[in-house]
Amino acid sequence: MATGLTGSGGPDLDEIRKCVHCGICLPQCPTYRVLGEEMDSPRGRIYLMRAAAEGRVGLTETFRRHIDLCLGCRACETACPSGVRFGSLLEATRAQLRRSGPPAKRSLVEAFAFSVFPVPSRLGAALAAFKLYKRSGLRALVRASRVLRKLPSLAAMDALLDDVPAAQPMPDVVPARGRLAGRVGLLTGCVQRHLYPNVNRETARLLSLAGFEVVIPREQGCCGALDLHAGRLDTHAARARALATAFPPDLDFIVTNAAGCGSAMKEYGHRIPELSPFATRVRDVMEVLAGADLRLGPLDLTVTYHDACHLVHGQRVRHEPRRLLGRIPGLRLVELGDSDLCCGSAGVYNLLEPGMARELLDRKVARIVETGVRVVAAANPGCLLQIAWGCRERGLDVSLVHPVELLARAADAYQD
């Protein structure tokens, strides 16, 4: 299967040549919709990749800028009639650029993000420091000083976090209830385990109710998705191998509830052939529960659903979340305009490119306002953080939830 890489580590010219320059991808591309610039579209970026591969242009700062601005949302892949694997080409190109080092303006932010976010213990310590920063009153002083206006990446990081929930340690095994349907492993993730621990707990509970024994390895680490999307391919491979080793080999599925993690894990075999057996068993929780016999009680709610990019475009999971929410009696699902247009989170993109990320967030929140709902569901922690921030800033009385939280409430309603 194509990886997007040549033997020398650059983007695969044969994959690049699949692009027929039809332009169908242009209206699906978030940066093109904002900027209207050809070189900030998938077609334009592929043109640049081909020109660089053929030696017609160098890896200049202008080249880098057009590549940096890409969110890696992969909406172009869904639209592409030729099946171009743009995500793999982007990762290979970023790996090339990385060999010359990140631009100075991003080096400090990148160094922090990639040394902290993919290491759960460090992320936990950083979030504990944030709680102290907030409770001590220092956050209020910093905001009042307006110093963050000169530091947009730090301002975005400060604004994204509203609070840090109490830790919810997970058991090693959650037994199946009722008839045994299988044995699965659960990825607890990095951001998910610290900022949305209830999502992990409810995921395990729903899988148990669906008849699955749930194994939750304590030693599991990061899946490597952030590194992959940034072109840090060696680090990604090391994290991928370590994660695969942490899960027992006899599991039916490895279940994720974070879109970005699941997308990266399903594609492990593209770059690391020995991980193909592991990758073929990865499932998003929406895929698993869509085929399960869950007993759901009524919820009197009106909800809209945001398609996380790496779930809808990376994993091609579009209908399962809607079908599951549609099975909840009394729940009214209102379709969101541009539901599969990126919200601007995109891993750490909202920290590295806060201006573009904010423009996309504003567009997403405007679409949410049009629905008139008070509950927004999204199946990725980055999306939940980003959209919640946008709603807070607009003063909207809107709750952000993972779909499993609604399903868990409906399961409780059935038992009542």
Order across the sheet with 399-401: list the strands: 332-334, 302-306, 375-378, 399-401
Whether 6 has a pLDDT exceeding 80, the answer reads no
pLDDT category at 283 given cuts 50, 70, 90 is: very high
Can you say how many angstroms the Cα of residue 144 is from the centroid of all Cα atoms in its chain? Answer: 32
What pLDDT was estimated at residue 4? 52
CA-to-CA separations, 54 to 6, 15, 19, 84, 388, in angstroms, rounded: 13, 13, 15, 18, 44
pLDDT at residue number 7? 42
Q: Supply the pLDDT for residue 154.
A: 81
pLDDT of residue 153: 82
Contact 280, 251 (CB under 8 A): no
Mean pLDDT of 122-142: 89
pLDDT at 88: 94
Q: Looking at the predicted structure, is the pLDDT value of residue 351 above 80?
A: yes
Residue 2: pLDDT above 80? no
Residue 9 has pLDDT above 90, yes or no: no
pLDDT in tens, 365-403: 999 999 999 999 999 999 999 999 999 999 999 999 999
Q: Give the pLDDT mean for 234-256.
A: 97
> What is the structure's pLDDT at 226?
94
Is it the case that residue 8 has pLDDT exceeding 70? no
Asked if residues 214 and 207 have their Cβ atoms less than 8 Å apart, the reply is yes
pLDDT in tens, 185-242: 999 999 999 999 999 999 999 999 999 999 999 999 999 999 999 999 999 999 999 9
Asked if the model's pLDDT at residue 301 lies above 50, the reply is: yes
Q: What is the pLDDT of residue 146?
A: 81
pLDDT of 133 reads 87
Q: Which has the higher per-residue pLDDT, 415 or 155? A: 155
Mean pLDDT computed over 113-136: 91
Q: How far from the centroid of its chain's Cα atoms is residue 149's Cα?
A: 27
pLDDT of residue 105: 59
Average pLDDT, the chain: 92
3-state secondary structure the chain: CCCCECCCCCECHHHHCCCCCCCCCHHHCHHHHHHCCHHHCHHHHHHHHHHHHCCCCCCCHHHHHHHHCCCCCCHHHHHCCCCCCHHHHHHHHHHHHHCCCCCHHHHHHHHHHHHHCCCHHHHHHHHHHHHHHHHCCHHHHHHHHCHHHHCHHHHHHHHHCCCCCCCCCCCCEECCCCCCCEEEEECCCCHHHHHCHHHHHHHHHHHHHCCEEEECCCCCCCCCHHHHHCCCHHHHHHHHHHHHHHCCCCCCEEEECCHHHHHHHHCHHHHCHHHHHHHCCEEEHHHHHHCCCCCCCCCCCEEEEECCHHHHHHCCCCHHHHHHHHCCCCCEEECCCCCCCCCCCCCCHHHHCHHHHHHHHHHHHHHHHHHCCCEEEECCHHHHHHHHHHHHHCCCCCEEECHHHHHHHHHHHHHC
User: Hey, what are 65's tokens?
Assistant: 């800028």
Average pLDDT of the segment spanning 342-367: 95
Given a cut of 50, is residue 1 above it in pLDDT? no
Average pLDDT over residues 247-275: 96
What gap in Å lies between CA 109 and CA 275, rounded to an integer?
A: 31
Q: What is the pLDDT of residues 47-99, one digit of tens each?
A: 999 999 988 998 999 999 999 999 999 999 999 999 999 999 999 999 999 88
pLDDT of residue 303 exceeding 70:
yes
| pLDDT for 416 | 57
